[in-house]
Amino acid sequence: MITALFFILHCIMFSGTVAGSRKGQWQQLLNNTGVVAMHMALTHHNTVIMFDQTEAGPSGYRLRTRHNGNRCTDNRDDVADSSCYAHSVEYDISNNKVRPLRLYTDTWCSSGSFLSNGTLLQTGGYGSGTRRIRYYRPCGNGKCNWRQSERSLSKDRWYASNQLLPEHDRVIVVGGRRTFTYEFVPKMSSNEGSHELSFLHQTYDPNEGGNNLYPFLHLSSDGNLFIFANRNSILFDYERNRVIKTFPRIPGDGSRNYPGSGSSVILPLDHANRFEKVEVMVCGGAASGAYRATRQNRFLKGLSSCGRMVITGNRHKWNMENMPGPRLLNDMLILPTGNVLIINGAKRGSGGWNNARNASLRPYLYKPNNKLGKRFSVLKSTKIARMYHSSAVLLPDGRVLVGGGNPHDRYTFSNVAYPTELRLQAFVPHYMRRKYHTHRPTNVTIQYGQNNYNGVRYGEEFNVTFLLERKPSDVVEFTAYSPPFTTHSISMNQRLLKLRCKSLVMAQGGLVHAVVEAPPSANVAPSGYYMLTVVNGGTPSMSEWVRFMHH
């Protein structure tokens, strides 16, 4: 079975004519994941956790028993009972299969972060889940499952955002529907609650469904937190509960945050400037009044504009440019090359049930280092609409996993413009094709050093070996990528680092030995598992896992 599957993947992965060679390919992986991939996260065991809301009624994956162990029968009540169905699955990348996981409370529009040991910390949701804290520790043996904490959040967190902080395994949870505060997990003391954040009051638009939900959070390399909501942004010292900088408002009307639902990334951090230059990018979103207009069945054209701003130093200005078309409900993923993939979404309307029209079927590729006007290109179209409640994650083999899509509050497959979507796809960037194999570093191996089996400490060197068929190109880069928790167009905790290579020696038989330096601090790279990729003249290897950690 495995050999057959491997062969199929190769046939699909590297097919396609040279004419469309730089536009990538699409693969369909599964016809039915059982569960809508409203939320997705890649684990360091090379599995992907996908989950939906628990109250969407029956999903596409029936369970034999309920939470309490009672059997699920074929009588009418059981067939309609949400607890007789899975609402979360774990997808195994290598064997292309899913297995059901049990969720105990509603995770609708919740948030997440990975901890330093690779456990997914998952917070909030709706109804029974709104103050819940859950953990998923991946195990690699197909036996792990969700665990719900005895502790709770201080406030309701529905549409909140998470960021892993430099302090060991501490996460900040910001905002939520009608929640204008932030809090930490874990708490420092039993009486610690939540903290007011007036910025969330100031950016809240009651007529437009909030427009500041799921705020964009990026950890700056100076240890402060960048928070963007609606159209405004601040640099925030969360230790002292103090706004350090108020940035200029992003130009243009409309909103970038839910239900405006644009997207954001922190551009690659680079050892060449000691990781001190931090630049954020925000793309797409909904037009002014778009959310209200959907009530009258009017679907306003989304925003085409993107803004880039350096948040370090003392000169702050949004540099604006336009995507090839309008886009909202879009995901932005940083590829191992340092380029940004903009995928999924719609051209008109806003976030929310049935509020969007005209699916964006063509991904865009953005090259941040190209000249203005030469940064965007349009990639190969998919045939599957991925709008509200879809998501995308980068895989270690270089593909991008794309799933989900459901603008309905139940699983609905007929008589609607955009049915519930359970098919799973991968987008394959052009450089993963066979014609790039002679340039591709293979057999990447990471050695941590003698005294250290668990990972690399900040600022320390580690060894990377790989094979190359021919002499390396002039530019060999080592990138480390923190896999995000993605939902609702927001990729929480995503960041890519360009690491310093201290020496590169080619031995006989194409074996290359490199000495690479770990990031200098947890401000630059919070501790945990990263995907290390060797990029040879723009052609990336498959990624291997590396763990950065405190002394």
Digitized pLDDT (tens) for each residue of the chain, 551 residues in all: 333 332 223 322 333 333 347 999 999 999 999 999 999 999 999 999 999 999 888 999 999 998 888 999 989 888 888 889 999 999 999 999 999 999 999 999 999 999 999 999 999 999 999 999 999 999 989 999 999 999 999 999 999 999 999 998 999 999 999 999 999 999 989 899 999 999 999 999 999 999 999 999 999 999 999 999 999 999 999 999 999 999 999 999 999 999 999 999 999 999 999 999 999 999 999 999 999 999 999 999 999 999 999 999 999 999 999 999 999 999 999 999 999 999 999 999 999 999 999 999 999 999 999 999 999 999 999 999 999 999 999 999 999 999 999 999 999 999 999 999 999 999 999 999 999 999 999 999 999 876 667 899 999 999 999 999 988 889 999 999 999 999 999 999 999 999 999 999 999 899 999 999 999 999 999 999 999 999 999 999 999 999 999 87
Q: How far is CA 530 from CA 332, 391, 485, 513, in A?
A: 18, 20, 13, 20
**Sign for the pseudo-dihedral over CA of 105, 107, 110, 115:** positive
pTM for the model stands at 0.95
Structural domains for the chain: 23-432 (2.130.10.80), 434-549 (2.60.40.10)
Work out the burial of residue 397: count CB atoms within 10 Å of its CB; fewer than 13 is exposed, 13-18 middle, 19 or more buried: middle
Q: Which residue has the tokens 């899509």?
A: 405
* Three-state SS at 159: coil
**340 near 541, Cβ under 8 Å?**
no
- β-sheet bridge partners, residue 148: 134
> Strand locations in 137-268, DSSP E?
146-152, 161-164, 171-174, 181-185, 195-196, 216-219, 225-229, 232-237, 242-246, 263-266
Q: State the sign of the Cα–Cα–Cα–Cα dihedral 358, 360, 362, 365.
A: positive
Q: Is 506 helix (H, G, I), strand (E, B) or coil?
A: strand
